[in-house]
Amino acid sequence: MTIASPLLDFSDLPRFSEIRAKHVTPAITRLLEENRAVVKQLCDDQTAVSWENFVEPLENATERLGRAWSIVGHLNGVADTPELRAAYNENQPAITEFWTELGQNLVLFEKYKALAAQTGFETLPIARKTIIQHAIRDFRLSGAELPEDKQQRYAEIQEKSAMLTTRFSENVLDATNDYRLLIDNIEQLKGLPEDVIQAAKAAAEKDNLAGYKFTLHFPSYFPLLQYADNRDIRATIYRANATKASELGAKPEWDNTAIISEILQLRKEEAQLLGYQNFAEVSLVSKMAESPVQVASFLEDLAKKARPFAEKDLQELRQFAAQELGIEKLEAWDVAYASEKLREQRYAFSEQEVKQYFPEHQVINGLFSVIQTLFAVDIKPDQAGTWHPDVKFYRIEKEGQLVGQFYLDLYARNGKRGGAWMDDARGRRLTAHGIQTPVAYLVCNFTEPAIVDGIAKSAYFTHDEVITLFHEFGHGLHHMLTKVDDLSVSGISGVEWDAVELPSQFMENFCWEWDVLQQMTAHAYTGETLPRALFDKMIAAKNFQSGLQTLRQVEFALFDMRLHGDFEPLGNQTVQQMLDAVRAQVSVFIAPDFNRLQHSFSHIFAGGYAAGYYSYKWAEVLSADAYAAFEEHGKKDGSTLSRSAGAQFQKEVLEVGGSRPALDSFKAFRGREPSIDALLRHSGMTV
């Protein structure tokens, strides 16, 4: 029997083709009522608390609500419409209110504490013990122990913060979608690859415009910065991107300045309500890192190690730009262009040349081959309703049994937020009917296939885009290959935020292996695989400007940590001044005064990375060291595609999900504490 509302059908996969904005409010209202009824029943139950009569029914109810709201949030991110946005914004306060009141429910809190105090607690499976311990921690972080008046204020903060982060994200998306740079003279596009020009022409024709249309979606604007000989056009697109959603942007209603200030004030107040000095301390309670001081020390040490290499990178770039390109003063809009020219001269190849070897179908097949080899699984096309015709759907099987499924949404388009991400559509858990297999969303923003003379050509990916795809698939593997049967620590759930990037960054390394690239390349015109000579040049160029890139990431991470640690939102220093101070400390190339990085820094203001952006570099230490185990096998066997190492990584890292501390999982895999040596070696930052 088909359930009337597609948002209330949890029997299988989401019915994306049927879901409309009108379904959101009735479904969410009903699910909230059901959840509150379950909570009331559990609070009224006077029998001795157990996993079966307390945790399971609560998890059953909240999973239904979580899955429905996840679908709404996902569609809001990949298929934004005014109607859907309105429905999302209408229901978000009610969702936030429910989770806040749940987190502050003292009766539930006491029942979790009673579970932990029972004599049988130590004999529970490790996953269930972890869930109970996490729940007690999260109740405290949700203000369950606060006086009633402070609980109310905490709830107000959560609701306001949710609204502001959504508005922040919407402003960035609207500013991105609104901008267009229309070029009518092809002479102004000298230097651009032909496929970029064709894509810009197709974008203009789509809007019934003459000429060539460029936007602030990454696949559109970045090639201008990287290849356009016309310096004025590079400066124009750079400024547009660097000022979007700011007071210097196109429309004042999209200015995120006041939103940033209010978000920071609310986070500071929340931390102090909970008894912490700042939001950074709150953020780190559930992470591997122990304190903001430890994180800052890690970042500053990394900056110190990278600085000599970054200074050398910049000196070489400035000298090359002046002598070879006639650019006497290197500006921010020249960096990508001059870097690409220097790379071409030094290593005798361009990113565009490499791109010709990475057609979409070959890349996808190569990626799947790596996964199948390492983890002894099969990946096959599958059928499901999707939110856009371009989206594909697949299943993963092991020994003929379904393990997980995933949606693959590769291309940038209007109504889809920028960046790349993995999100869970459904988590693995053991139910009365058997194993509920996990389902993932894998989302990127690559250039869609160009349509020339009415015929769609194959999409071609840059090597960086290939790396991005492997990265997101690493997250997907973490989610889909889990063997944990309890939802709250299954897959990526319950994994410390600063360790969740371990599998994703680990997977990136295979994009630099000769035997892997042989499987995933075929030239656009000849069909030949990537030549060894070009591969050798790519390897030689792998760590090109790695010092500058490392300092850039440290700048972002240290700014984030200081903003949520040292910064006083109502003090005399502005957010821009804080960013300027961080740049002065760690950067060797300072962004222009008009650069407003923070106004579109969605990771920390709308994406869950607040006081957590450092996790990319933190986890990179883990991932590089983990991959070193595969390199050790490669020295013996001739290939890093080691089934035995893959099986061990799968068993100790991927399968255990969040059921134990990430450091324990790493040590179980490597047999020791992590070391930074592999990261420095992989980055070319060793003497």
398 three-state secondary structure: strand
Distance CA(618)–CA(297), nearest Å, equals: 12
Strand 392-398: give its sheet, edge to edge. Answer: 378-381, 392-398, 401-411, 439-446, 421-426
Distance CA(258)–CA(252), nearest Å, equals: 11
Phi/psi of residue 440, nearest 5 degrees:
-125, 150
| 496 contacts 288 by C-beta, under 8 angstroms | yes
CATH number of 6-103+105-141: 1.20.1050.40
pLDDT digits (tens, 9 = 90+) for 633-681: 999 988 999 999 999 999 999 999 999 999 999 999 999 999 999 999 9
Nearest to 511 by CA among 544, 542, 547: 542
pLDDT digits (tens, 9 = 90+) for 535-585: 999 999 999 999 999 999 999 999 999 999 999 999 999 999 999 999 999
User: 18 catalytic, yes or no?
Assistant: no
| 517 contacts 544 by C-beta, under 8 angstroms | no
Report which DSSP code applies to 121.
G
pLDDT digits (tens, 9 = 90+) for 578-612: 999 999 999 999 999 999 999 999 999 998 899 99
- Cβ-Cβ contacts under 8 Å for 13 (sequence gap 6 or more): 384, 385, 405, 425, 426, 439
Tokens of 628: 């070193």
Distance CA(500)–CA(666), nearest Å, equals: 12
Nearest to 466 by CA among 507, 427, 430, 515: 507
Catalytic residue among 63, 351, 465, 472: 472
Q: Which residue has the tokens 């850039």?
A: 552
Determine the pLDDT at residue 452.
65
Q: Which string of DSSP letters, residue by residue, matches 673-684?
A: ---SHHHHHHTT
Whether the pTM exceeds 0.85: the reply is yes
With cut-offs at 50, 70 and 90, classify the pLDDT of residue 59.
very high
pLDDT at 103 over 60: yes
Nearest to 65 by CA among 2, 125, 147, 8: 8
Q: To 10 degrees, the CA torsion angle through 681, 683, 684, 687? A: -60
Determine the pLDDT at residue 686.
83
Tokens of 375: 């983890």
pLDDT at 2 over 60: no
| 644 contacts 325 by C-beta, under 8 angstroms | no
Phi/psi of residue 94, nearest 5 degrees:
-70, -40
Distance CA(114)–CA(45), nearest Å, equals: 14
| 652 contacts 323 by C-beta, under 8 angstroms | no
pLDDT at 374 over 50: yes
- Cβ-Cβ contacts under 8 Å for 345 (sequence gap 6 or more): 320, 324
Determine the pLDDT at residue 1.
42
User: 6-103+105-141 and 256-348+545-613: same fold?
Assistant: no
| Amino acid making up residue 631 | E
> Per-residue pLDDT averaged across 447-465, rounded?
83
Determine the pLDDT at residue 296.
96
pLDDT at 455 over 90: no
pLDDT digits (tens, 9 = 90+) for 229-284: 999 999 999 999 999 999 999 999 999 999 999 999 999 999 999 999 999 999 99
> Per-residue pLDDT averaged across 457-469, rounded?
94
Q: How far is CA 330 from the centre of its chain?
A: 31
> Per-residue pLDDT averaged across 143-147, rounded?
95
Q: Which string of DSSP letters, residue by residue, matches 315-352?
A: HHHHHHHHHHH--SS--HHHHHHHHHHHHHHHHS--HH
Nearest to 418 by CA among 653, 252, 217: 217
Q: How far is CA 81 from the centre of its chain?
A: 22
Please write down the HEC assignment for all residues of 22-80.
HHHHHHHHHHHHHHHHHHHHHHHCCCCCCHHHHHHHHHHHHHHHHHHHHHHHHHHHHCC
pLDDT at 454 over 70: no
Sketch the domain layout of the chain as residue ranges: 6-103+105-141, 179-253, 256-348+545-613
Tokens of 499: 């360790």
Tokens of 133: 């311990």
- Cβ-Cβ contacts under 8 Å for 450 (sequence gap 6 or more): 195, 198, 199, 202, 456, 457
256-348+545-613, what's its fold? Neurolysin; domain 3 (1.10.1370)
Determine the pLDDT at residue 3.
64
Tokens of 443: 């989302």
pLDDT at 617 over 90: yes
pLDDT at 294 over 80: yes
Determine the pLDDT at residue 457.
79
Distance from the first to the final alpha carbon of the chain = 67
> 180-189, 338-347, 352-361, 447-456 — which is least confidently predicted?
447-456
Distance CA(668)–CA(53), nearest Å, equals: 34
pLDDT digits (tens, 9 = 90+) for 477-533: 999 999 999 999 999 999 999 999 999 999 999 999 999 999 999 999 999 999 999
Q: Check residues 477 and 458 and name the one with the higher pLDDT.
A: 477
